[in-house]
């Protein structure tokens, strides 16, 4: 058996014994790096960051006088809250959608956040 075969079998065993959510997270993380995005777990407060992942939730937060649209992005390594101030809805920003965002990483209540990030809607195959 060659080293190449050992790699194949170890990947096969891992796929058969891993949780589906874990495999999905690994897949998202690999795609993110392939598209030139940073891993969310490596991003630090105050740094300019580009992150790619899947939207887990999208909520309108009418708690203040100004509308705020919030979305939770997961890239396979960590969650990042995306906040668009003054927006009630953005076409294409919906749960399950894969997007690439760019902005200055912040922190709110101990969680990573990007305010008014630039975003790119990606095709489902990406």
Are 105 and 115 a contacting pair, CB within 8 Å?
no
Residue at token pair 């997961």: 74
Residue 111 has pLDDT above 80, yes or no: yes
Residue 4 structure tokens: 């190449």
Share of the chain above pLDDT 70, in %: 71
Angle (nearest 5°) at CA 57 between 15 and 31: 40
First-last CA distance in the chain:
34
pLDDT category at 1 given cuts 50, 70, 90 is very low
Assess whether pLDDT exceeds 50 at residue 60: yes
Residue 4: its pLDDT value, please?
A: 47
Locate the domains of the chain by residue range. 3-121
Of 2.40.50.140, 2.60.290.11, 3.90.190.20, 1.10.1040.10, which CATH number belongs to 3-121? Answer: 2.40.50.140
- Mean of per-residue pLDDT scores for the chain: 82
**Cross-strand pairs, 118:** 102
Q: What are phi and psi of 120, to 5 degrees?
A: -130, 120
């Amino acid at each position: 058996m060659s080293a190449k075969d050992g790699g194949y079998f170890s990947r096969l065993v891992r796929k058969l014994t891993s949780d589906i959510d874990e495999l999905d997270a690994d897949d998202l993380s690999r795609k993110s790096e392939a598209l030139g995005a940073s891993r969310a777990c490596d991003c630090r407060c105050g740094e300019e960051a580009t992150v790619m992942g899947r939207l887990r939730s999208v909520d309108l937060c009418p708690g203040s006088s100004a509308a705020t649209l919030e979305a939770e992005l997961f890239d396979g390594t960590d969650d990042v809250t995306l906040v668009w101030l003054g927006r009630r809805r953005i076409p294409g920003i919906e749960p399950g959608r894969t997007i690439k965002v760019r902005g200055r990483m912040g922190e709110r209540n101990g969680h990573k956040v990007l305010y008014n990030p630039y975003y790119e809607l990606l095709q489902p195959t990406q």
